[in-house]
Chain A
Amino acid sequence: MERRHGIEVENLVREFKKGPRAVDGVSLSVSPGEVYGFLGPNGAGKSTTVLILTTLLPPTSGTARVAGYDIVKEGSGVRSAIGAALQEAALDPFLTGREHMNLQSSLHGLPRKERKVRGDELLERVGLSEAANRRVRGYSGGMKRRLDLALALVHRSEILFLDEPTTGLDPQSRSALWDEVNRLARDDGVTVFLTTQYLEEADMLADRVAIIDEGKIVAEDTPEALKAEIGRPSVEATPVDFKELDAVSNVLGRFGGTVPASSGSAAVRLERGDLADVVRALDTEGVKVMNLQLNSPSLDDVFLEKTGRSLEGSGGGEEDEA
Protein backbone atom coordinates (compact mmCIF):
# COMPACT_ATOMS: atom_id res chain seq x y z
CA MET A 1 0.00 0.00 0.00
CA GLU A 2 1.37 3.39 -0.91
CA ARG A 3 1.58 5.67 2.12
CA ARG A 4 1.73 9.27 1.10
CA HIS A 5 -0.05 11.12 3.84
CA GLY A 6 0.72 11.72 7.45
CA ILE A 7 -0.94 14.17 9.80
CA GLU A 8 -1.27 17.91 9.22
CA VAL A 9 -2.72 20.04 12.00
CA GLU A 10 -3.22 23.78 11.93
CA ASN A 11 -4.19 25.91 14.87
CA LEU A 12 -6.39 23.27 16.47
CA VAL A 13 -8.54 24.49 19.36
CA ARG A 14 -10.94 22.63 21.63
CA GLU A 15 -12.87 24.47 24.29
CA PHE A 16 -15.12 22.75 26.79
CA LYS A 17 -18.10 24.48 28.35
CA LYS A 18 -17.12 26.29 31.54
CA GLY A 19 -13.60 24.95 31.21
CA PRO A 20 -10.24 26.08 29.93
CA ARG A 21 -9.04 25.45 26.40
CA ALA A 22 -7.95 21.83 26.51
CA VAL A 23 -6.21 22.30 23.17
CA ASP A 24 -5.08 25.81 22.46
CA GLY A 25 -3.84 26.44 18.94
CA VAL A 26 -1.92 23.24 18.29
CA SER A 27 -0.16 23.03 14.92
CA LEU A 28 1.97 20.09 13.91
CA SER A 29 2.99 17.96 11.00
CA VAL A 30 3.78 14.26 11.07
CA SER A 31 5.43 12.70 8.03
CA PRO A 32 4.36 9.30 6.71
CA GLY A 33 6.21 6.52 8.51
CA GLU A 34 7.33 8.77 11.35
CA VAL A 35 6.92 8.00 15.05
CA TYR A 36 5.76 11.24 16.63
CA GLY A 37 5.82 11.54 20.40
CA PHE A 38 3.38 13.83 22.15
CA LEU A 39 4.80 14.37 25.59
CA GLY A 40 3.17 16.17 28.48
CA PRO A 41 1.84 15.85 32.00
CA ASN A 42 -1.70 14.79 32.91
CA GLY A 43 -4.25 17.32 31.69
CA ALA A 44 -1.90 18.90 29.16
CA GLY A 45 -4.23 18.25 26.22
CA LYS A 46 -2.63 15.11 24.78
CA SER A 47 -5.69 12.88 24.88
CA THR A 48 -8.04 15.61 23.71
CA THR A 49 -5.82 16.11 20.68
CA VAL A 50 -5.95 12.38 19.97
CA LEU A 51 -9.74 12.33 20.36
CA ILE A 52 -10.00 15.14 17.81
CA LEU A 53 -7.59 13.57 15.33
CA THR A 54 -9.38 10.23 15.55
CA THR A 55 -12.75 11.95 14.89
CA LEU A 56 -14.13 11.15 18.33
CA LEU A 57 -14.42 14.81 19.21
CA PRO A 58 -14.95 17.76 16.88
CA PRO A 59 -12.57 20.70 17.20
CA THR A 60 -13.88 24.09 18.24
CA SER A 61 -11.75 25.64 15.51
CA GLY A 62 -8.71 24.89 13.38
CA THR A 63 -8.17 22.24 10.75
CA ALA A 64 -6.53 18.86 10.56
CA ARG A 65 -5.97 16.29 7.87
CA VAL A 66 -5.22 12.71 8.81
CA ALA A 67 -4.08 10.33 6.06
CA GLY A 68 -5.11 13.06 3.62
CA TYR A 69 -8.68 13.32 4.95
CA ASP A 70 -10.22 16.32 6.66
CA ILE A 71 -11.19 15.21 10.17
CA VAL A 72 -14.46 17.17 10.13
CA LYS A 73 -15.67 16.74 6.57
CA GLU A 74 -14.21 13.32 5.78
CA GLY A 75 -14.44 11.49 9.09
CA SER A 76 -15.33 8.24 7.39
CA GLY A 77 -12.09 8.31 5.36
CA VAL A 78 -10.07 9.08 8.47
CA ARG A 79 -11.59 6.16 10.38
CA SER A 80 -10.89 3.78 7.50
CA ALA A 81 -7.22 4.75 7.49
CA ILE A 82 -6.41 4.86 11.18
CA GLY A 83 -6.13 2.51 14.09
CA ALA A 84 -6.29 3.70 17.66
CA ALA A 85 -5.54 2.30 21.08
CA LEU A 86 -6.89 4.82 23.54
CA GLN A 87 -6.02 5.31 27.18
CA GLU A 88 -8.99 3.24 28.34
CA ALA A 89 -9.06 0.12 26.20
CA ALA A 90 -12.65 -0.23 24.98
CA LEU A 91 -13.08 -3.96 25.49
CA ASP A 92 -16.13 -6.03 26.30
CA PRO A 93 -15.38 -8.22 29.32
CA PHE A 94 -17.84 -10.84 28.13
CA LEU A 95 -16.23 -11.36 24.73
CA THR A 96 -13.09 -13.38 24.10
CA GLY A 97 -9.98 -11.98 22.45
CA ARG A 98 -10.84 -13.80 19.24
CA GLU A 99 -14.40 -12.47 19.30
CA HIS A 100 -13.01 -8.96 19.64
CA MET A 101 -10.80 -9.52 16.59
CA ASN A 102 -13.77 -10.79 14.64
CA LEU A 103 -15.89 -7.83 15.71
CA GLN A 104 -13.22 -5.30 14.77
CA SER A 105 -12.54 -6.85 11.37
CA SER A 106 -16.29 -6.95 10.70
CA LEU A 107 -16.60 -3.27 11.60
CA HIS A 108 -13.94 -2.54 9.00
CA GLY A 109 -15.64 -4.73 6.42
CA LEU A 110 -12.87 -7.32 6.02
CA PRO A 111 -14.01 -10.30 3.93
CA ARG A 112 -15.15 -13.21 6.10
CA LYS A 113 -12.30 -15.49 4.95
CA GLU A 114 -9.67 -12.91 5.77
CA ARG A 115 -11.02 -12.18 9.25
CA LYS A 116 -9.87 -15.37 10.90
CA VAL A 117 -6.45 -15.39 9.22
CA ARG A 118 -5.79 -11.77 10.11
CA GLY A 119 -7.14 -12.19 13.63
CA ASP A 120 -4.97 -15.25 14.32
CA GLU A 121 -1.91 -13.54 12.84
CA LEU A 122 -2.29 -10.49 15.06
CA LEU A 123 -3.14 -12.45 18.19
CA GLU A 124 0.04 -14.42 17.68
CA ARG A 125 2.07 -11.28 17.06
CA VAL A 126 0.97 -9.75 20.37
CA GLY A 127 1.39 -13.05 22.22
CA LEU A 128 -2.27 -13.76 22.89
CA SER A 129 -2.80 -16.92 20.85
CA GLU A 130 -3.18 -19.09 23.91
CA ALA A 131 -5.58 -16.68 25.60
CA ALA A 132 -7.57 -16.03 22.43
CA ASN A 133 -10.59 -18.04 23.50
CA ARG A 134 -10.70 -16.67 27.03
CA ARG A 135 -13.07 -13.90 28.00
CA VAL A 136 -11.35 -10.55 28.31
CA ARG A 137 -12.51 -10.05 31.90
CA GLY A 138 -9.81 -12.56 32.86
CA TYR A 139 -7.02 -10.68 31.05
CA SER A 140 -4.32 -8.74 32.86
CA GLY A 141 -3.79 -5.04 32.14
CA GLY A 142 -0.89 -5.84 29.82
CA MET A 143 -2.91 -8.42 27.90
CA LYS A 144 -5.74 -5.93 27.42
CA ARG A 145 -3.29 -3.35 26.07
CA ARG A 146 -1.81 -5.85 23.66
CA LEU A 147 -5.25 -6.92 22.49
CA ASP A 148 -6.19 -3.28 22.00
CA LEU A 149 -3.07 -2.78 19.88
CA ALA A 150 -3.88 -5.85 17.79
CA LEU A 151 -7.41 -4.54 17.27
CA ALA A 152 -6.02 -1.21 16.08
CA LEU A 153 -3.99 -3.02 13.43
CA VAL A 154 -6.63 -5.37 12.11
CA HIS A 155 -7.37 -3.41 8.92
CA ARG A 156 -3.71 -2.61 8.19
CA SER A 157 -4.07 0.96 9.33
CA GLU A 158 -1.90 3.61 7.72
CA ILE A 159 -1.69 5.69 10.87
CA LEU A 160 -1.72 4.42 14.41
CA PHE A 161 -2.75 6.54 17.41
CA LEU A 162 -1.50 5.27 20.75
CA ASP A 163 -2.71 7.22 23.76
CA GLU A 164 -0.45 6.47 26.72
CA PRO A 165 -0.16 2.85 25.67
CA THR A 166 2.10 1.73 28.49
CA THR A 167 0.54 3.52 31.44
CA GLY A 168 0.09 1.03 34.25
CA LEU A 169 2.06 -1.73 32.55
CA ASP A 170 4.83 -3.74 34.15
CA PRO A 171 8.34 -3.25 32.67
CA GLN A 172 8.19 -6.49 30.70
CA SER A 173 4.87 -5.65 29.02
CA ARG A 174 6.09 -2.12 28.39
CA SER A 175 9.23 -3.35 26.70
CA ALA A 176 7.24 -5.80 24.54
CA LEU A 177 4.92 -3.04 23.43
CA TRP A 178 7.84 -0.75 22.58
CA ASP A 179 9.35 -3.48 20.44
CA GLU A 180 6.09 -3.90 18.57
CA VAL A 181 5.71 -0.17 17.95
CA ASN A 182 9.28 0.00 16.67
CA ARG A 183 8.65 -2.96 14.41
CA LEU A 184 5.46 -1.43 13.01
CA ALA A 185 7.22 1.79 12.10
CA ARG A 186 10.37 0.14 10.79
CA ASP A 187 8.96 -2.86 8.91
CA ASP A 188 5.43 -1.82 7.99
CA GLY A 189 5.99 1.92 7.55
CA VAL A 190 3.08 2.75 9.86
CA THR A 191 2.90 6.37 10.99
CA VAL A 192 2.63 6.41 14.78
CA PHE A 193 1.22 9.25 16.87
CA LEU A 194 2.12 8.39 20.43
CA THR A 195 1.12 10.30 23.53
CA THR A 196 2.99 9.65 26.73
CA GLN A 197 3.96 11.14 30.03
CA TYR A 198 7.03 8.91 30.20
CA LEU A 199 10.21 10.62 29.08
CA GLU A 200 12.00 7.36 28.50
CA GLU A 201 9.21 6.19 26.20
CA ALA A 202 9.32 9.32 24.07
CA ASP A 203 13.09 9.13 23.97
CA MET A 204 13.11 5.46 22.98
CA LEU A 205 10.38 5.46 20.37
CA ALA A 206 9.88 8.88 18.84
CA ASP A 207 11.65 10.26 15.79
CA ARG A 208 10.38 13.65 16.87
CA VAL A 209 8.81 14.85 20.09
CA ALA A 210 6.37 17.66 20.78
CA ILE A 211 6.10 18.82 24.36
CA ILE A 212 2.61 20.03 25.21
CA ASP A 213 1.63 21.98 28.28
CA GLU A 214 -1.71 23.61 29.05
CA GLY A 215 -2.94 22.89 25.54
CA LYS A 216 0.01 24.48 23.76
CA ILE A 217 3.05 22.95 22.11
CA VAL A 218 6.03 24.48 23.88
CA ALA A 219 8.79 22.62 22.05
CA GLU A 220 9.10 20.29 19.08
CA ASP A 221 12.12 18.56 17.55
CA THR A 222 14.06 15.32 17.66
CA PRO A 223 14.80 14.22 21.25
CA GLU A 224 18.52 14.78 20.62
CA ALA A 225 18.00 18.31 19.31
CA LEU A 226 15.72 19.22 22.20
CA LYS A 227 18.25 17.99 24.73
CA ALA A 228 21.04 19.76 22.89
CA GLU A 229 19.12 23.00 23.35
CA ILE A 230 19.67 22.64 27.07
CA GLY A 231 23.35 22.04 26.37
CA ARG A 232 25.06 21.61 29.71
CA PRO A 233 24.54 18.66 32.05
CA SER A 234 23.49 18.97 35.66
CA VAL A 235 25.37 17.73 38.70
CA GLU A 236 23.67 16.34 41.79
CA ALA A 237 25.35 15.71 45.13
CA THR A 238 24.09 13.93 48.27
CA PRO A 239 25.99 14.72 51.50
CA VAL A 240 26.85 11.92 53.94
CA ASP A 241 25.45 14.07 56.74
CA PHE A 242 22.09 15.65 55.94
CA LYS A 243 23.11 18.69 58.06
CA GLU A 244 25.70 19.51 55.39
CA LEU A 245 23.07 19.90 52.63
CA ASP A 246 23.29 23.71 52.81
CA ALA A 247 27.08 23.55 52.51
CA VAL A 248 26.76 21.30 49.47
CA SER A 249 24.23 23.69 47.95
CA ASN A 250 26.57 26.60 48.48
CA VAL A 251 29.47 24.83 46.81
CA LEU A 252 27.37 23.69 43.87
CA GLY A 253 25.91 27.17 43.55
CA ARG A 254 29.32 28.41 42.38
CA PHE A 255 28.95 26.29 39.23
CA GLY A 256 25.47 27.18 38.03
CA GLY A 257 21.81 27.70 38.74
CA THR A 258 19.84 25.37 41.00
CA VAL A 259 17.67 22.67 39.44
CA PRO A 260 15.26 20.23 41.17
CA ALA A 261 17.01 17.36 42.98
CA SER A 262 16.05 14.22 44.86
CA SER A 263 15.29 14.43 48.54
CA GLY A 264 18.44 15.01 50.62
CA SER A 265 20.42 16.17 47.60
CA ALA A 266 21.28 19.40 45.84
CA ALA A 267 21.71 19.92 42.11
CA VAL A 268 22.75 22.63 39.67
CA ARG A 269 23.01 23.02 35.91
CA LEU A 270 26.76 23.07 35.20
CA GLU A 271 27.29 26.46 33.63
CA ARG A 272 30.91 26.91 34.77
CA GLY A 273 33.64 24.27 35.18
CA ASP A 274 33.20 20.51 35.02
CA LEU A 275 32.68 17.57 37.36
CA ALA A 276 36.34 17.52 38.41
CA ASP A 277 36.09 21.18 39.47
CA VAL A 278 33.01 20.33 41.58
CA VAL A 279 34.84 17.43 43.26
CA ARG A 280 37.83 19.64 44.05
CA ALA A 281 35.58 22.40 45.48
CA LEU A 282 33.72 19.97 47.72
CA ASP A 283 37.03 18.52 48.90
CA THR A 284 38.43 21.97 49.61
CA GLU A 285 35.39 22.80 51.73
CA GLY A 286 35.72 19.46 53.54
CA VAL A 287 32.20 18.33 52.67
CA LYS A 288 31.79 14.58 52.41
CA VAL A 289 29.33 13.33 49.83
CA MET A 290 28.01 9.78 49.43
CA ASN A 291 26.76 10.24 45.92
CA LEU A 292 27.75 12.58 43.13
CA GLN A 293 26.23 12.20 39.69
CA LEU A 294 26.42 13.97 36.39
CA ASN A 295 23.10 13.96 34.57
CA SER A 296 23.02 14.48 30.82
CA PRO A 297 20.17 16.76 29.78
CA SER A 298 16.90 14.82 29.62
CA LEU A 299 13.54 15.63 28.11
CA ASP A 300 12.50 16.51 31.64
CA ASP A 301 15.14 19.23 31.60
CA VAL A 302 13.67 20.43 28.33
CA PHE A 303 10.22 20.42 29.89
CA LEU A 304 11.54 22.28 32.93
CA GLU A 305 13.26 24.81 30.73
CA LYS A 306 10.16 25.46 28.64
CA THR A 307 7.50 25.46 31.34
CA GLY A 308 9.32 26.14 34.58
CA ARG A 309 7.97 22.87 36.02
CA SER A 310 9.16 19.30 36.16
CA LEU A 311 7.17 16.70 34.22
CA GLU A 312 4.91 14.51 36.36
CA GLY A 313 5.39 10.77 36.01
CA SER A 314 8.96 11.19 34.80
CA GLY A 315 10.55 7.98 33.69
CA GLY A 316 14.04 9.25 34.47
CA GLY A 317 16.71 10.65 32.22
CA GLU A 318 20.12 9.52 31.08
CA GLU A 319 22.56 9.33 33.92
CA ASP A 320 26.31 9.13 34.26
CA GLU A 321 27.38 8.28 37.72
CA ALA A 322 30.64 9.82 38.95
Chain B
Amino acid sequence: MKALFSVAFAVAGRQLRRFFGNITFLAPAAFPVFFFAAFAGGLSRVGEVPRFEFAAGYTAFTFVWALLQAVAMGGAFTGFAIAGDFENGFARRFLIAAPNRGGIILGYVFASLVRTTFTGSLVFIVGILAGMEILGSGVDVFGLIGLALIVNVAATLFGCGVAMLLRTQQAGPLIQTPIFMLLFLAPVYVPLELLEGWLQTVAPLNPLTAIITTGRSFIAGDPTGVGAAFLTAVSLVAILLAWAYFGLRSAERSG
Protein backbone atom coordinates (compact mmCIF):
# COMPACT_ATOMS: atom_id res chain seq x y z
CA MET B 1 0.00 0.00 0.00
CA LYS B 2 2.91 2.33 0.81
CA ALA B 3 4.38 1.70 -2.63
CA LEU B 4 1.00 2.43 -4.23
CA PHE B 5 0.84 5.89 -2.69
CA SER B 6 4.55 6.67 -3.20
CA VAL B 7 4.10 6.04 -6.90
CA ALA B 8 0.77 7.89 -7.02
CA PHE B 9 2.15 11.03 -5.36
CA ALA B 10 5.23 10.97 -7.59
CA VAL B 11 3.15 10.66 -10.77
CA ALA B 12 0.67 13.30 -9.63
CA GLY B 13 3.45 15.69 -8.60
CA ARG B 14 5.07 15.49 -12.00
CA GLN B 15 1.74 15.93 -13.81
CA LEU B 16 0.87 19.01 -11.81
CA ARG B 17 4.33 20.51 -12.22
CA ARG B 18 3.86 20.20 -15.94
CA PHE B 19 0.27 21.42 -15.82
CA PHE B 20 0.91 24.58 -13.87
CA GLY B 21 4.36 25.12 -15.36
CA ASN B 22 2.91 26.28 -18.64
CA ILE B 23 0.41 29.03 -19.38
CA THR B 24 -1.48 26.66 -21.71
CA PHE B 25 -3.00 25.08 -18.60
CA LEU B 26 -5.69 27.76 -18.95
CA ALA B 27 -6.88 26.32 -22.27
CA PRO B 28 -8.93 23.40 -20.87
CA ALA B 29 -10.66 25.81 -18.52
CA ALA B 30 -11.76 27.99 -21.42
CA PHE B 31 -14.09 25.41 -23.02
CA PRO B 32 -16.60 25.01 -20.20
CA VAL B 33 -16.59 28.73 -19.51
CA PHE B 34 -17.32 29.36 -23.18
CA PHE B 35 -20.14 26.78 -23.24
CA PHE B 36 -21.58 28.20 -20.05
CA ALA B 37 -21.50 31.75 -21.38
CA ALA B 38 -23.00 30.68 -24.70
CA PHE B 39 -25.80 28.56 -23.25
CA ALA B 40 -26.69 30.70 -20.27
CA GLY B 41 -26.64 33.86 -22.36
CA GLY B 42 -27.83 32.83 -25.84
CA LEU B 43 -30.41 30.29 -24.70
CA SER B 44 -31.77 32.08 -21.64
CA ARG B 45 -35.26 32.36 -23.21
CA VAL B 46 -35.49 28.55 -23.09
CA GLY B 47 -36.14 28.93 -19.38
CA GLU B 48 -39.42 30.60 -20.24
CA VAL B 49 -40.94 27.75 -22.24
CA PRO B 50 -44.11 26.19 -20.78
CA ARG B 51 -43.58 23.40 -18.19
CA PHE B 52 -39.92 24.45 -17.71
CA GLU B 53 -39.80 24.67 -13.96
CA PHE B 54 -36.46 25.29 -12.32
CA ALA B 55 -36.54 27.47 -9.26
CA ALA B 56 -32.92 28.67 -9.45
CA GLY B 57 -33.32 29.97 -13.01
CA TYR B 58 -31.83 29.08 -16.38
CA THR B 59 -28.29 30.26 -15.57
CA ALA B 60 -28.07 27.85 -12.65
CA PHE B 61 -29.72 25.14 -14.76
CA THR B 62 -26.99 25.51 -17.42
CA PHE B 63 -24.25 25.93 -14.85
CA VAL B 64 -24.58 22.36 -13.55
CA TRP B 65 -24.11 20.95 -17.03
CA ALA B 66 -21.15 23.28 -17.68
CA LEU B 67 -19.58 22.23 -14.39
CA LEU B 68 -19.95 18.54 -15.22
CA GLN B 69 -18.60 19.23 -18.69
CA ALA B 70 -15.58 20.97 -17.16
CA VAL B 71 -14.77 18.10 -14.84
CA ALA B 72 -15.40 15.42 -17.46
CA MET B 73 -13.23 17.20 -20.01
CA GLY B 74 -10.59 17.62 -17.31
CA GLY B 75 -10.50 13.82 -17.20
CA ALA B 76 -10.25 13.68 -20.99
CA PHE B 77 -7.33 16.13 -21.01
CA THR B 78 -5.56 13.96 -18.45
CA GLY B 79 -6.11 11.08 -20.88
CA PHE B 80 -4.41 13.11 -23.61
CA ALA B 81 -1.43 13.69 -21.30
CA ILE B 82 -1.19 9.98 -20.52
CA ALA B 83 -1.26 9.13 -24.23
CA GLY B 84 1.53 11.69 -24.74
CA ASP B 85 3.61 10.09 -22.00
CA PHE B 86 3.32 6.72 -23.69
CA GLU B 87 4.01 8.09 -27.15
CA ASN B 88 7.15 9.97 -26.16
CA GLY B 89 8.40 7.11 -23.98
CA PHE B 90 8.28 8.87 -20.63
CA ALA B 91 5.74 6.36 -19.32
CA ARG B 92 8.54 3.79 -19.35
CA ARG B 93 10.13 5.61 -16.46
CA PHE B 94 6.97 5.03 -14.45
CA LEU B 95 6.61 1.42 -15.58
CA ILE B 96 10.21 0.51 -14.83
CA ALA B 97 10.46 2.31 -11.50
CA ALA B 98 7.03 1.79 -9.99
CA PRO B 99 7.03 -1.18 -7.63
CA ASN B 100 3.22 -0.96 -7.71
CA ARG B 101 2.01 0.04 -11.15
CA GLY B 102 -1.53 0.62 -9.93
CA GLY B 103 -0.06 3.76 -8.39
CA ILE B 104 0.45 5.15 -11.89
CA ILE B 105 -3.31 5.17 -12.49
CA LEU B 106 -3.96 6.57 -9.03
CA GLY B 107 -1.39 9.31 -9.59
CA TYR B 108 -3.01 10.43 -12.83
CA VAL B 109 -6.37 10.47 -11.02
CA PHE B 110 -4.95 12.60 -8.18
CA ALA B 111 -3.48 15.04 -10.69
CA SER B 112 -6.75 15.21 -12.58
CA LEU B 113 -8.65 15.94 -9.38
CA VAL B 114 -6.38 18.86 -8.55
CA ARG B 115 -6.61 20.13 -12.09
CA THR B 116 -10.39 19.85 -12.12
CA THR B 117 -10.63 21.68 -8.82
CA PHE B 118 -8.98 24.56 -10.59
CA THR B 119 -11.20 24.49 -13.72
CA GLY B 120 -14.33 23.75 -11.68
CA SER B 121 -13.64 26.68 -9.39
CA LEU B 122 -13.22 28.90 -12.42
CA VAL B 123 -16.62 27.82 -13.75
CA PHE B 124 -18.11 28.44 -10.31
CA ILE B 125 -16.66 31.94 -10.21
CA VAL B 126 -17.94 32.74 -13.70
CA GLY B 127 -21.37 31.35 -12.71
CA ILE B 128 -21.56 33.55 -9.65
CA LEU B 129 -20.38 36.57 -11.63
CA ALA B 130 -23.09 35.79 -14.20
CA GLY B 131 -25.68 36.13 -11.46
CA MET B 132 -26.38 32.44 -10.89
CA GLU B 133 -28.74 31.78 -8.00
CA ILE B 134 -27.83 29.03 -5.54
CA LEU B 135 -30.91 28.06 -3.55
CA GLY B 136 -29.34 24.94 -2.02
CA SER B 137 -27.62 24.84 1.36
CA GLY B 138 -23.91 24.40 1.88
CA VAL B 139 -24.49 20.65 2.19
CA ASP B 140 -26.29 20.67 -1.16
CA VAL B 141 -23.41 22.51 -2.79
CA PHE B 142 -20.99 19.95 -1.34
CA GLY B 143 -23.23 17.23 -2.77
CA LEU B 144 -22.90 18.83 -6.21
CA ILE B 145 -19.13 19.14 -5.81
CA GLY B 146 -18.94 15.51 -4.68
CA LEU B 147 -20.80 14.37 -7.77
CA ALA B 148 -18.57 16.51 -9.98
CA LEU B 149 -15.41 15.02 -8.48
CA ILE B 150 -16.68 11.48 -8.97
CA VAL B 151 -17.51 12.29 -12.60
CA ASN B 152 -13.97 13.61 -13.01
CA VAL B 153 -12.51 10.39 -11.62
CA ALA B 154 -14.71 8.33 -13.96
CA ALA B 155 -13.71 10.40 -17.01
CA THR B 156 -10.03 10.21 -16.05
CA LEU B 157 -10.19 6.44 -15.69
CA PHE B 158 -11.89 6.20 -19.09
CA GLY B 159 -9.21 8.38 -20.69
CA CYS B 160 -6.51 6.44 -18.87
CA GLY B 161 -7.78 3.13 -20.24
CA VAL B 162 -7.96 4.38 -23.84
CA ALA B 163 -4.58 6.11 -23.63
CA MET B 164 -2.81 3.08 -22.20
CA LEU B 165 -4.49 0.77 -24.68
CA LEU B 166 -3.51 2.80 -27.74
CA ARG B 167 -0.40 4.59 -26.41
CA THR B 168 -0.57 7.37 -28.99
CA GLN B 169 -1.84 10.93 -28.95
CA GLN B 170 -3.99 9.97 -31.89
CA ALA B 171 -6.21 8.36 -29.26
CA GLY B 172 -7.40 11.89 -28.41
CA PRO B 173 -10.65 11.78 -30.41
CA LEU B 174 -11.44 8.33 -29.00
CA ILE B 175 -11.18 9.77 -25.50
CA GLN B 176 -13.02 13.00 -26.20
CA THR B 177 -15.86 11.87 -28.46
CA PRO B 178 -17.58 9.36 -26.15
CA ILE B 179 -17.40 11.86 -23.27
CA PHE B 180 -18.87 14.58 -25.46
CA MET B 181 -21.60 12.23 -26.67
CA LEU B 182 -22.58 11.27 -23.13
CA LEU B 183 -22.64 14.94 -22.15
CA PHE B 184 -24.86 15.93 -25.06
CA LEU B 185 -27.14 12.90 -24.85
CA ALA B 186 -28.20 14.09 -21.42
CA PRO B 187 -30.85 16.78 -20.78
CA VAL B 188 -28.58 19.72 -21.61
CA TYR B 189 -30.93 22.59 -22.44
CA VAL B 190 -34.22 21.48 -20.88
CA PRO B 191 -35.26 19.06 -18.15
CA LEU B 192 -35.71 15.39 -19.02
CA GLU B 193 -39.50 15.75 -19.01
CA LEU B 194 -39.40 18.25 -21.86
CA LEU B 195 -37.19 16.21 -24.18
CA GLU B 196 -38.85 14.81 -27.29
CA GLY B 197 -38.16 12.30 -30.03
CA TRP B 198 -35.25 9.88 -29.95
CA LEU B 199 -33.44 11.92 -27.36
CA GLN B 200 -36.34 11.34 -24.98
CA THR B 201 -35.74 7.60 -25.41
CA VAL B 202 -31.97 7.73 -25.13
CA ALA B 203 -31.44 10.27 -22.34
CA PRO B 204 -32.93 8.17 -19.51
CA LEU B 205 -30.48 5.40 -20.41
CA ASN B 206 -27.52 7.78 -20.13
CA PRO B 207 -25.88 7.47 -16.72
CA LEU B 208 -25.05 11.18 -16.79
CA THR B 209 -28.76 12.06 -16.88
CA ALA B 210 -29.31 10.92 -13.29
CA ILE B 211 -26.15 12.75 -12.18
CA ILE B 212 -27.02 16.02 -13.94
CA THR B 213 -30.63 15.93 -12.74
CA THR B 214 -29.55 15.42 -9.14
CA GLY B 215 -26.83 18.05 -9.51
CA ARG B 216 -29.46 20.55 -10.62
CA SER B 217 -31.71 19.57 -7.74
CA PHE B 218 -28.83 20.31 -5.35
CA ILE B 219 -28.38 23.82 -6.67
CA ALA B 220 -32.15 24.38 -6.62
CA GLY B 221 -32.23 23.38 -2.95
CA ASP B 222 -34.51 20.43 -3.53
CA PRO B 223 -32.27 17.33 -3.65
CA THR B 224 -33.89 14.43 -5.48
CA GLY B 225 -32.57 11.05 -6.57
CA VAL B 226 -29.39 11.56 -4.53
CA GLY B 227 -28.82 7.89 -3.75
CA ALA B 228 -29.37 6.81 -7.36
CA ALA B 229 -27.06 9.54 -8.69
CA PHE B 230 -24.21 8.68 -6.35
CA LEU B 231 -24.72 4.97 -6.95
CA THR B 232 -24.58 5.58 -10.70
CA ALA B 233 -21.44 7.71 -10.39
CA VAL B 234 -19.65 5.23 -8.13
CA SER B 235 -20.64 2.35 -10.40
CA LEU B 236 -19.17 4.24 -13.34
CA VAL B 237 -15.93 4.64 -11.40
CA ALA B 238 -15.85 0.93 -10.56
CA ILE B 239 -16.43 -0.12 -14.18
CA LEU B 240 -13.94 2.39 -15.57
CA LEU B 241 -11.34 1.45 -12.96
CA ALA B 242 -11.45 -2.07 -14.38
CA TRP B 243 -11.15 -0.50 -17.87
CA ALA B 244 -8.10 1.54 -16.80
CA TYR B 245 -6.44 -1.60 -15.39
CA PHE B 246 -7.21 -3.36 -18.66
CA GLY B 247 -5.38 -0.57 -20.47
CA LEU B 248 -2.46 -0.79 -18.04
CA ARG B 249 -2.15 -4.54 -18.55
CA SER B 250 -2.14 -3.98 -22.31
CA ALA B 251 0.65 -1.42 -21.96
CA GLU B 252 2.61 -3.84 -19.78
CA ARG B 253 2.25 -6.58 -22.37
CA SER B 254 3.45 -4.36 -25.19
CA GLY B 255 6.56 -3.10 -23.42
> A interface, how many residues as a size bin?
20 to 34
Task: Report B-chain residues with C-beta under 8 Å of the C-beta of A86.
Answer: 92, 96
Contact indicator A107/B92 (Cβ below 8 Å): no
User: Which of B2, B18, B21, B96 counts the most A-chain CB atoms under 10 A from its CB?
Assistant: B96
Minimum distance in angstroms from B144 CB to a CB of chain A: 33
Contact of A84 (CB < 8 Å), options: B9, B13, B96:
B96
Q: Which residues of chain B from 66 to 110 have any CB-CB distance to chain A below 8 Å in the complex?
A: 89-100
- The CA of A257 and the CA of B94, in the complex, are separated in Å by 52
Contact indicator B90/A90 (Cβ below 8 Å): yes
Contact of B10 (CB < 8 Å), options: A51, A94, A107:
A107
Per-residue CB contact flags for chain B residues 118-131 toward chain A (1 = under 8 Å, else 0) read 00000000000000
> B interface, how many residues as a size bin?
20 to 34
- The closest CB in chain A to the CB of B9 belongs to A106
Contact indicator B90/A79 (Cβ below 8 Å): no
Contact indicator B14/A57 (Cβ below 8 Å): no
Minimum distance in angstroms from B94 CB to a CB of chain A: 7
Contact indicator A92/B3 (Cβ below 8 Å): no
Q: Does A314 contact B (CB under 8 A)?
A: no
Per-residue CB contact flags for chain A residues 40-68 toward chain B (1 = under 8 Å, else 0) read 00000000000100111110000000000
Decide if the interface of chain B is mainly helix, strand, loop or mixed. helix
Task: Report B-chain residues with C-beta under 8 Å of the C-beta of A56.
Answer: 92, 95-96, 252, 255
Task: Report B-chain residues with C-beta under 8 Å of the C-beta of A58.
Answer: 252-253
Task: Report A-chain residues with C-beta under 8 Å of the C-beta of B22.
Answer: 94
Contact indicator A106/B96 (Cβ below 8 Å): no
Q: Does B17 contact A (CB under 8 A)?
A: yes
Q: Which residues of chain A from 147 to 175 have any CB-CB distance to chain B below 8 Å in the complex?
A: 151
- The CA of A102 and the CA of B13, in the complex, are separated in Å by 10
Contact indicator A106/B6 (Cβ below 8 Å): yes
Q: Does A80 contact B (CB under 8 A)?
A: yes
Q: Does A245 contact B (CB under 8 A)?
A: no
Q: Does B212 contact A (CB under 8 A)?
A: no
Contact indicator B97/A51 (Cβ below 8 Å): no
Q: Does A108 contact B (CB under 8 A)?
A: yes
Task: Report B-chain residues with C-beta under 8 Å of the C-beta of A104.
Answer: 93, 97
Task: Report A-chain residues with C-beta under 8 Å of the C-beta of B95.
Answer: 55-56
Q: Does A109 contact B (CB under 8 A)?
A: yes
Per-residue CB contact flags for chain B residues 172-203 toward chain A (1 = under 8 Å, else 0) read 00000000000000000000000000000000
Chain B: residues with CB nearer than 8 A to chain A?
2-3, 6-7, 9-11, 13-14, 17-18, 21-22, 89-100, 252-255
Closest 8 pairs (CB-CB, A-B): A57-B255, A106-B10, A109-B6, A90-B93, A107-B97, A107-B10, A76-B99, A90-B92
